[in-house]
Structure formats: C-alpha cells, structure tokens
C-alpha cells in the first residue's frame, strides 16, 4: 500500500518540530567568567517565543543559584531589569543619584516605577506582542521582504541612489537597515501606546522616495531581495494611510498618464510637455549663464530635504529634448477614438501571408516621446507588416504601481489584459 501521504505528513511534522526546537547557545569569556546566552528564535512563531521566554527565566535562576549575578560587561538594560532583584536596583539608584543628581542621563531608566518595563526592547515577551502585531499588519509583509538581508553590500554598486560622496544612507543595504529601524519604531509606539509619530512617516517617505524602482539590486542579491519592490510596498503603505508625500510635478505627471480623454490629453500635453519642456530648457540656459545661486561645483551632502535653489539647479541641469513632435502619436495620426481599433498597413504590400503585429506603445512612447512610437510604426509599415494598435489612450499601470497606488495599477493592468484578450479573439483571423 502506498504510504506516501503518511510519510509526507511525518516529514512535515518533523520539519515543523525541528524548526521550532529551542537551543541555548553560550559564549564565554575565558578570563573574567562572563557567560552570554543566545536563544535563536523565529520571530513569527508565537509558541516558540513563549517557550523561549520561559527558558530565559530558567537561565537567570540557574545563574543565580550557581552564585552568579544577572550581569555581564554590557546589556543590563530594560530586558534584564525584572531579574535584577531589589538590592541591586537600590544600589544602582543610590549610585546614579550621586553621579547624576539632576537625572540628565537616561532619566528613569533602570529605576523602580519608571514604567519602562513595558517599553519596546528586543525582550522575548515583547517580541510575542511584536509577532502578533507584525502578523496582523502590513508591517509584517514589509518586514518579511527585508528580513533575510545578510548585509553583504553586493547590491550597493548597482544602485543609482548610492552616492557615498553625498551621503551613506541610500544604498539598498542601508535603506534596509533604515526600514528595519522604522518598523521597530512603529512597533515600539504601538506597544507603548504613545501614538504614532508623524515623523516616522516622514522617514519612511524619505527612504521610499530614494529609489528609482529600477530593480537592479535584485540581480546581485544572494537572498533575492529587490528593494524596488520594497520601496513600492512602502509607498503603498504610506498611500493607504494618507501619508504619502507627493510633489506637484509627480501629481501633474500622474494626471497626464491617467488621462484617456483626447481633449484632456491635448491640454496636458501642451501644458506639461510643450510649455513645461520649453520652460525647463529656458531655465537651463539662464541658470547656466547667470549661475545666481553660486552653488559649489561638487555636490554637498543631502541629509536634509534639499533646498529650493538646489532642486532648481538639478531640475534644469540637463536640457530636455527640443525636437519633439508637436502632438502625441495618436493625435498626429488621428487615432484617438477609444472605440476604434486601428490597423495600419501599406495597401500596396497587402497579402494573405502578411505578418501581423500587435503594438502597445505605452504612455512613454505614445504621449511623452511620440517620435519613438512613430518610428516603430513607420518601420513596421515599411517592412510590410500590418500593425494593430489598442483603441484610445492607455497606460500599462506601472507608473501608478511604482508610485504606490498599487490598486489603481492593478486595475489598469487587469482592464488591459481583458481588452487585449478580446482583441486577440476578435482579430484572430489576422
């Protein structure tokens, strides 16, 4: 009889037990007798955390019964406070009072009645709460996306935002460290019921904004972390909480990419692409000539939000292209009707064997740099292919998703898939 199902079940029980098995790793100092104990745990395993908490109590009890003290050359913090005993706490309070009578250093810390015993520390008891909060919130997914980072730094050289001359903060590795700190800060405030600080959202905006979502960091990463996806996740969390920071330029660009009505597209094309590009080019010329801000030739650090003059200089640093077609590709070819599927071919080359190509230009080459889609269509036309275009102005949804509006991006992409399937079915004779 085939016992495979039973064997599989036994294997899964065995692997579950093996993964949640606790062991205590000890490191000792040969000379002074210190013993450090480490209990590796999976922070998403509630039972394991609970058991580890009991093990800590046993370790402290064993250390004391063997004539040792709950101490060490470091690490007598909030976590160990509960194991110190009254006399040690009183002795410390007396000493602290002598050397720091005004309570300037760590006021209330390691003092009876401070209330800090419930504050966030990596203590196992608090990790239990943390595990529950993480499990039940979007922070858990964010944490899962970065938790395997080995800090190897292999992602640094490929990242466009890693500019050590400006600052050391924005390599993928350091952004992962920062993301971990932000998650920790949220958890701390959640557990201590102090209310969430707006500042953490600002910090999250800062980290999420320093990413071009190019996904280049995924390739060298040995544990497959793609910080582009992490940035999108953070932007989405910020958007869901109404805390996403969005500049005027981004809002205007997004409005342009979301527009499907030809009149709106025409209006925004004229304002943003024609006049906007012309203004940028004028700014480029004037600032290069007059240099009114007298900025140093080497970039300064960028720890704070960059000032308006610096933003202006960067915005106008390279002149935007001058010779764009005066209209979008669809406006030039009269293909703006959202109810008509355009098929372009050279009638003189028409035959039953004619190759058919479905071409989805996307907003970049259709609305921003329409010479690209015009050149593509011309090439296909010249080479005797017939080209099917989707009806009306469409976007693929990627700009919306990478900007944090994942729901909208997904909707656009699903609508496109449905439309393209319909087109494929209707035009399968081609």
Candidate ranges 88-96, 168-176, 266-274, 287-295; the one touching ligand SF4 (CB under 6 A): 168-176
Q: What share of the chain is helix, strand, coil (3-state, %, to 5)?
A: 55, 5, 40
Query: Judged by CB under 6 A, does residue 155 bind ligand SF4?
Result: yes
Single residue of 83, 120, 201, 227 touching ligand SF4 by CB under 6 A: 227
Cβ proximity to ligand SF4, 179 vs 400, nearer residue: 179
- Smallest Cα–Cα separation from 69: which of 53, 93, 85, 86? 85
- Smallest Cα–Cα separation from 38: which of 27, 54, 25? 25
Q: Are the C-beta atoms of residues 339 and 261 closer than 8 Å to each other?
A: no
Query: Judged by CB under 6 A, does residue 161 bind ligand SF4?
Result: yes
Q: Are the C-beta atoms of residues 194 and 201 closer than 8 Å to each other?
A: no
Single residue of 80, 96, 125, 215 touching ligand SF4 by CB under 6 A: 215
Query: Judged by CB under 6 A, does residue 163 bind ligand SF4?
Result: no
Phi-psi region of 288 (alpha: psi -120 to 50; beta: other; left: phi over 0): alpha
Taking residues 231 to 260 in sequence order and writing x for each that binds ligand SF4 by CB under 6 A, - otherwise, the string is x-----------------------------
Compute the distance between CA of residue 164 and CA of residue 423 in angstroms, rounded to an integer. 50
Single residue of 153, 299, 325, 364 touching ligand SF4 by CB under 6 A: 153
Question: For the chain, what is the total number of helices (H) and then of strands (E)?
Answer: 18, 5
Query: Judged by CB under 6 A, does residue 327 bind ligand SF4?
Result: no
- Smallest Cα–Cα separation from 314: which of 284, 275, 344, 340? 284
CB of 228 to ligand SF4, least distance (A): 3
Angle of helix 46-65 relative to helix 124-136, nearest 10 degrees, comes to 170
CB of 4 to ligand SF4, least distance (A): 37
Backbone phi, psi, residue 427, to 5°: -105, 20
CA distances, 41 to each of 45, 52, 128 (Å): 8, 8, 11
In the chain the first and final C-alpha atoms are separated, in Å, by: 55
Query: Judged by CB under 6 A, does residue 345 bind ligand SF4?
Result: no
Single residue of 126, 225, 257, 265 touching ligand SF4 by CB under 6 A: 225
Single residue of 145, 213, 268, 380 touching ligand SF4 by CB under 6 A: 213
Query: Judged by CB under 6 A, does residue 211 bind ligand SF4?
Result: yes
Single residue of 96, 154, 245, 327 touching ligand SF4 by CB under 6 A: 154
Which residues lie across from 344 on neighbouring strands? 387
Query: Judged by CB under 6 A, does residue 168 bind ligand SF4?
Result: no
CB of 414 to ligand SF4, least distance (A): 24
Q: Are the C-beta atoms of residues 367 and 269 closer than 8 Å to each other?
A: yes
Single residue of 223, 255, 278, 286 touching ligand SF4 by CB under 6 A: 223
Candidate ranges 6-14, 169-177, 201-209, 377-385; the one touching ligand SF4 (CB under 6 A): 169-177
Tokens of 67: 């004539």
Query: Judged by CB under 6 A, does residue 147 bind ligand SF4?
Result: no
Give the interface with ligand SF4 as residue ranges (CB under 6 A).
149-155, 158-161, 172-173, 176, 211-217, 220-223, 225, 227-228, 231
């Amino acid at each position: 009889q085939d016992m495979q199902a039973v064997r599989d079940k036994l294997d899964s029980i065995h692997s579950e037990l093996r993964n949640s098995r606790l062991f205590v790793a000890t490191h000792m100092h040969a000379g002074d007798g210190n013993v450090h104990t480490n209990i590796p745990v999976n922070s998403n395993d509630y039972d394991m955390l609970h058991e580890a908490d009991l093990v800590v109590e046993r370790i402290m009890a064993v250390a004391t019964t063997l004539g040792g003290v709950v101490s060490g050359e470091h690490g007598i913090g909030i976590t160990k406070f509960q194991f110190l005993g009254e006399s040690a706490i009183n002795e410390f309070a007396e000493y602290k009072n002598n050397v720091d009578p005004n309570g300037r250093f760590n006021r209330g810390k390691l003092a009876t009645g401070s209330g800090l015993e419930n504050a966030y520390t990596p203590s196992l008891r608090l990790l239990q709460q943390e595990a529950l909060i993480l499990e039940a919130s979007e922070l858990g997914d964010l944490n899962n996306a970065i938790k395997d980072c080995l800090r190897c730094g292999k992602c640094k050289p490929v990242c466009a935002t890693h500019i050590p001359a400006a600052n050391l903060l924005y390599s993928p590795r350091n952004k992962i460290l920062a993301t971990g700190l932000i998650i920790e800060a949220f958890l701390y405030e959640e557990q201590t019921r102090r209310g969430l600080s707006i500042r953490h959202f600002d910090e999250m905006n800062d980290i999420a904004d320093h990413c071009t979502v190019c996904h280049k960091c995924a390739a060298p990463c040995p544990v497959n972390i793609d910080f582009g996806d992490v940035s999108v996740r953070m932007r989405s969390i910020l958007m869901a909480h109404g805390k996403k920071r969005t500049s005027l330029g981004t809002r205007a660009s997004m409005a342009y990419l979301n527009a499907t009505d030809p009149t709106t597209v025409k209006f925004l094309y004229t304002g943003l692409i024609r006049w906007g590009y012309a203004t940028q080019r004028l700014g480029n010329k004037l600032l290069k000539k007059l240099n009114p801000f007298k900025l140093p030739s080497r970039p300064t650090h960028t720890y704070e939000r960059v000032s308006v003059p610096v933003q202006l200089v960067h915005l106008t640093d390279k002149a935007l292209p001058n010779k764009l077609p005066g209209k979008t590709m669809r406006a030039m070819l009269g293909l703006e009707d959202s109810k008509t599927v355009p098929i372009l071919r050279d009638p003189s080359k028409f035959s039953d064997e004619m190759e058919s190509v479905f071409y989805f230009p996307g907003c970049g080459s259709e609305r921003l740099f329409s010479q690209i889609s015009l050149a593509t269509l011309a090439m296909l036309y010249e080479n005797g292919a017939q080209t099917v275009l989707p009806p009306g102005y469409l976007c693929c949804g990627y700009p919306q998703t990478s900007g944090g509006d994942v729901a909208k991006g997904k909707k656009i992409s699903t609508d496109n898939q449905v439309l393209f399937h319909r087109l494929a079915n209707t035009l399968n004779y081609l």
